[in-house]
Amino acid sequence: MNPSVAPAYSFLRACRGEPIEETPVWIMRQAGRYLPEYRAIREKHSFLDVCRVPEVCAAVTAQPIERFGFDAAILFQDILIPLLGMGVPVEFDPSPKLGFQIRTRDDLDRLRWEGVDAAAPHIRPVIRAVRAHLQGRVPLIGFAGSPFTMAAYLVDAGSRDLAKTRSFLARDPEAFARLLDLLADATVDYLKAQIGAGVDAVMLFDTQAGWLPPVEFARTAVATADRVLRGLPKGTPTIYFALAPSVGHLEALRASRADVLGLDYRVSLAQARAILGNQRAVQGNLDPAVLLGPGEEIVIRAESVLRENAGRPGHIFNLGHGIFPDTPIDSVKLLVDTVKRHRSAPGVRS
């Protein structure tokens, strides 16, 4: 990244909490099945190929930028891709199926990480291709799953209430800590490679962590995510998104060292601000289900999120979880237009 260009990006300025007129907007899973041009590419290429073939990944990553004018691109990958490099077979059809689960301390021996060049050799070429395709139009977000959420997939296959993960943690906390350590080390290596190849910000997805009660959420999920963030070079903004649905979880998030906290759609942005303080940048948090409803309601609810932030610096507009595959594209356009109209009417923000 050319440092003389960076300050112009509203997304990066918001990550740093700088006051700006406009609220940057992007949405989680912005390149995905709701887009006809994504579905067209998927007719010709498998999901894994879209993640691993540089030109295909670059074209897909740029699709939502080209259609809607989002203020940031997110690298098209999946949080489970690095598991392939740990010796775990993963298939997407489209929900992920893992070749085996980790249920006991002996199972830990089945996992390995021999460095990013062996485990994820595609990642640097893919990022270079995406950057070349984007030509500096918008910053690029790299990402990984948080160690706890990766562990939850390895133990439980992302099942509904993580019963097996929570019981593993209760039964054998030492072995569970070893699993988290292994995942944290791999994730530092993986994200450092992404930063080295040119991503402008990195995001950790901890979408399974909210199944833990707040105290365990703090000392297991948030603390391990922090271990990863501490291992990264300074200067690249970091975003931590936990699906964290209660006031107790928000209080636990206060300790996170991430520059930006992604907010769950089930908490109010105003309440999150009251708990987290105004110094921390926040990202979110419209309920993605709203995009399946009528246009008037989309405008009302998007404006209500903006109003809850009350013009404070450091707000990145997003959904409070990934977009649903059956979302109409006109609803996404209306959402982006609503947020962008807001930016050109600074009086509304005070």
* CA distance linking residue 129 with residue 205, whole number of Å: 23
- Establish whether 265 is a catalytic residue: no
Provide, rounded to whole angstroms, the least separation between the CB of residue 183 and ligand CP3. Answer: 14
* CA distance linking residue 45 with residue 181, whole number of Å: 35
**Is 80 among the residues that bind ligand CP3 (CB under 6 A)?**
yes
Out of 1, 20, 37, 42, the residue judged to bind ligand CP3 by CB under 6 A: 42
* CA distance linking residue 219 with residue 136, whole number of Å: 38
CA-based R_g, the chain, Å: 19
Out of 1, 16, 20, 33, the residue judged to bind ligand CP3 by CB under 6 A: 33
**Is 78 among the residues that bind ligand CP3 (CB under 6 A)?**
yes
Bond into 285 cis (ω within 30): yes
Q: Which of 71, 78, 156, 189 is catalytic?
A: 78
Q: Which of 16, 33, 105, 266 is catalytic?
A: 33
Number of residues located near ligand CP3, criterion CB under 6 A: 23
* CA distance linking residue 272 with residue 261, whole number of Å: 10
- Letters for 177-216 (x = contact with ligand CP3 by CB under 6 A, - = none) are ----------------------------x-x---------
Element (H, E) at 342: helix 329-343
- Letters for 89-118 (x = contact with ligand CP3 by CB under 6 A, - = none) are ---x-xxx----------------------
Bridge partners of 97, per DSSP, are 91
Residue whose structure tokens are 């112009």 = 8
Tokens coding 130: 């995406």
Q: Of 76 and 211, which CB lies nearer to ligand CP3 in the complex structure?
A: 76
Q: Of 196 and 325, which CB lies nearer to ligand CP3 in the complex structure?
A: 325
* CA distance linking residue 191 with residue 201, whole number of Å: 10
Question: Using N-to-C axis directions, what is the helix angle for 295-309 and 329-343, rounded to 10°?
Answer: 40
- Establish whether 307 is a catalytic residue: no
Q: Which of 9, 38, 153, 265 is catalytic?
A: 153
Considering only 74-82, 108-116, 183-191, 260-268, which stretch makes contact with ligand CP3 by CB under 6 A? 74-82
Q: Of 17 and 261, which CB lies nearer to ligand CP3 in the complex structure?
A: 261
* CA distance linking residue 228 with residue 146, whole number of Å: 8
- Establish whether 42 is a catalytic residue: yes
* CA distance linking residue 279 with residue 2, whole number of Å: 26
Out of 9, 68, 76, 176, the residue judged to bind ligand CP3 by CB under 6 A: 76
Contact predicate 120/190, CB 8 Å: yes
Q: Of 17 and 64, which CB lies nearer to ligand CP3 in the complex structure?
A: 64
Chain residues 152-181 in contact with ligand CP3, contact rule CB under 6 A: none
* CA distance linking residue 159 with residue 78, whole number of Å: 18
Provide, rounded to whole angstroms, the least separation between the CB of residue 188 and ligand CP3. Answer: 18
- Letters for 246-275 (x = contact with ligand CP3 by CB under 6 A, - = none) are ------------------------------
Tokens coding 250: 């928000």
Chain residues 314-343 in contact with ligand CP3, contact rule CB under 6 A: 322, 325
Contact predicate 84/112, CB 8 Å: no
> For 201, which DSSP code?
E
Q: Which residues are catalytic?
A: 29, 33, 42, 78, 153
Residues that bind ligand CP3 (CB under 6 A): 28-33, 42, 47, 74, 76-80, 92, 94-96, 143, 205, 207, 322, 325
